[in-house]
Structure 1
Amino acid sequence: MNTREVAEIPTGPVPVPSVVAELAKGDDITPVWENELGGLTFRLDARIGGSRYVKWVAHGTPEIDLAAEADRLAWASRWVRVPRVLGQGSNAEGSWLVTAPVPGRSAVDTRWLADPATAATAIGHGLRVLHDALPVAECPYTWSVADRLARADERIADGEGPGDWFPEHRHLTVAEARGLLDDAPPVDRLVVCHGDACAPNTLLHDDGTFAAHVDLGSLGVADRWADLAVAAWSTEWNHGPGYDHLVYAAYGVEPDPERIAYYRLLWDLA
C-alpha cells in the first residue's frame, strides 16, 4: 500500500501523547488529523471558550521539523494569514507546536467534499495569494530541486521504490524515475512556495472564498509549479477527478504539462 495516501481525519481512538495532555491543562482534547508519517494534530477546547491546536510528532521523524515550521509561520505571518505560534518544544518522546486557530474550514471538510468545484477554486486562488504576497528576496528558506533530489536519493537508498509511489509512476523503475528527475525544466517563476500545498492545507470561509493556509513546514523559494502541480493533483485524491483545471484557472495560469509531470514525480520520490 502507498502509505502516502493515508493522511486523514482519525476515525478511531487515538492515543494522546503525555505532553499534549499536559498542554491541555484540563481542556477537551479532540484528534483532528493524522498524517502519513504518524504525526498527529489535536484541538484543545477550553470549557470557558476558545481553542488551540497542537501538532505532535514522535522523536526521530526527520521529515517533520516543527521548530522549522514555527520559524516559517512567524516569518510568513507578516504578509499572509497563517496560524499564530503560541509555543513549540521537544522532549525525548517527540516535538510539538501549539498554534492559535485561524478562521475557516479545511478544503477536505465534509462541507467542501460535497462542493469540490468551490474547494478547487479556493485552492488555486489561495495559492496565487500566497505566491504574490510573500517576498522572494526576503525569504531565508529554500525548497530547491537540488535539496529535494538529495532527499529522494536518501529514500531510494533506504529501499523505497515503485510500490511506495502513486499509481501514475509505478510503471517506472527506480533508475528510470531518478533519471527523469535529472532533467529539471527551466524555472517558470520563482516564488515562496507553500511546500505542502495539498488540499487539506487550504482553509475556506463559509462563503467558499479562500481564508488561510496551514502546515507551512516546508515553505521556501522554488518554481511556482512545485506547488501548483501538487495542489491540483491533490484535488484528485480528495475530491475525485475533473477539478484540477479549476485550480489552474483560479490561479490564473494555463496548465504546463512538462512542469506538472516533473514536479509530481519529484513530489512522489522526495
Structure 2
Amino acid sequence: MSIPSSDIAVPARVLALAGGAHLTPLWQNAMGGVTFRTDDARVIKVGPRNPETTMAAEAERLRWAGRYTPVPEVLDVGEETREEAREDPGEEWLVTRALPGRSAVDPRWLGEPAVAVRAVGEGLRALHDALPVADCPFDWSVPARIAGAAARGIQVPSALRTPPPIDLAVVCHGDACVPNTLLGDDGRWIAHVDLGALGVADRWGDIAVAAMSTEWNYGPGWHDALIAAYGVDPDRERLSYYRDLWNAT
C-alpha cells in the first residue's frame, strides 16, 4: 500500500462518481484499489470486491462508529451487480465526506516519526475508550477471524487456534496500521479511517498491528514508543500472538 504519484490512471468509476470535480490521488493498495480526494471535499474509494472486508460492511461500521468517534461520514456506497460486472470479483465503491488532517504516513509525518507514533498510539487508545462494547454489533474475535480466513481458503496454523486469555475486550479498529490515523497540523490525532473490519476483540489485536506497522513505515525502534503512547506496558505474549495471527490471516 502506498501514496500514489499524481499521474496515476483514474478509473472510469472514479470519474463518474467525481462528477467533474478535480481529483487528487490519496492511496493505492496491493489489490488494485485506489482512493482519491475531490476538490469539493469528498473521498472516493474504488476497487475490486475484497473477500475479507467489503465496502458495504465498512459503510455500516462507519455509520455506527460515527455516533461515538471521528470517522468519515458515508455519502454513497455501491457495487456492480452480477450483470454489470465484467469479470469476477466485480467492483465496489465508497464515497465519504473528506476529513481534515493528513495520514500518519504523509511525507510531513514520515519526517517527524516521534510525533506521528505518539499520535497514533494516543488515537488508538481514544478509539478504544470511545466505542461501546455492549452496543457493538460487529465481531473481530479470534474465532471470527479464523472462520473468515477459512472461508477465503486460508488454513490458520494450529498453534494460533488457541489465543491468550482476553486482556480487555474493546471495539477494535480491525486494521490499526499507522496510515489509518489522521493527524492535524498540531501533530495530534483527529480521526480514523478504513474501518472495514471493526469489531469487538482483545485490544491487543489492534495494539500489536499498530506497533508492528511502525517498523514498516518509520523504520525500527518505534514499536514500544507506540505502546507507551497507548498507555500500557508491552505484553510480549499477546503482541507475538496477534502479530502472528495478522500475518497468518
User: Which interval holds the TM-score relative to the shorter structure?
Assistant: over 0.9
- Structure 1 position 102, deviation (Å): 1.1
Residue 239 of structure 2 is aligned with which of 260, 263, 267? 260
For residues 188-203 of structure 1, the aligned pairs below 5 Å read: 188-203=167-182
Q: The residue matched to 2:144 in structure 1 has which SS?
A: helix
Q: Residue in 1 aligned with 2:140?
A: 143
* Aligned equivalent of 1:249, options 209, 224, 228: 228
Could you tell me which runs of 5 or more consecutive residues in structure 1 were left unpaired when the two chains were aligned: 1-6, 159-173
- Residue in 2 aligned with 1:25? 19
AA aligned to 1:260 is L
Contact 2:6 2:24 in 1 (8 A): no
Letter paired with 2:37: R
Q: How does 1:16-55 map to 2 (within 5 A)?
A: 16-45=10-39, 50-55=40-45
Q: 1: CA distance between counterparts of 2:73 and 2:66?
A: 7
TM-score (norm 2): 0.92
Q: In the TM superposition, what whole-angstrom CA distance separates every residue of 1:186-226 from its partner, at most 9, and x where no partner exists?
A: 00000000000001000111111111100000000000000
Matched, 1:208 2:198: no
Contact conserved, 1:57 with 1:64, CA < 8 A, in 2? no
Distance between the aligned counterparts of 1:178 and 1:36, measured in 2?
A: 24
One-letter identity of the residue aligned with 2:102: R
Aligned: 1:234 with 2:224: no
In the alignment, which residue of structure 2 is the partner of 1:166? none
Q: Which residue of 1 aligns with 2:75?
A: 86
Task: Check conservation: 1:229, 1:263, Cα contact below 8 A.
Answer: yes
Contact 1:194 1:218 in 2 (8 A): yes
Deviation at 1:152, TM superposition (A): 3.4
Quote how far apart the aligned CAs of 1:153 are: 3.6
TM-score when scaled to structure 1?
0.85
Deviation at 1:12, TM superposition (A): 6.6
CA RMSD of aligned residues (A): 1.6
Measured after TM superposition, the shift of residue 68 of structure 1 is 0.6
Does structure 1 retain, via aligned residues, the 8 Å contact 2:69–2:130?
A: yes
Decide which of 10, 16, 30 is 2:4's aligned counterpart: 10
In the alignment, structure 1 residue 65 sits paired with structure 2 residue 54? yes
Alpha-carbon displacement from aligned partner over 1:155-213 (angstroms, at most 9, x marks no partner): 5x46xxxxxxxxxxxxxxx8xx7122023100000000000000100011111111110
Q: Give the Cα separation in 2 of the matches to 1:246 and 1:237.
A: 15
Distance (whole Å) between structure 1 residues aligned to residue 28 and residue 52 of structure 2: 14
Contact 1:53 1:101 in 2 (8 A): yes
> d(CA) in 2 for partners of 1:199 and 1:251?
13
How many pairs are equivalent? 241
Could you say what secondary structure the match of 1:265 adopts? helix
Give the structure 2 partner of residue 171 of structure 1.
none
- In the TM superposition, structure 1's runs of 4+ consecutive aligned residues that sit over 6 Å from their partners are none
Aligned partners of 2:33 and 2:144: how far apart in 1? Answer: 23
The Cα shift of 1:247 comes to 1.1
Identical-residue share of aligned pairs (%): 56
> Structure 1 counterpart of 2:144, which letter?
D
Partner of 2:158: 179
Q: Does the 8 Å CA contact 2:5/2:25 hold for their aligned counterparts?
A: no
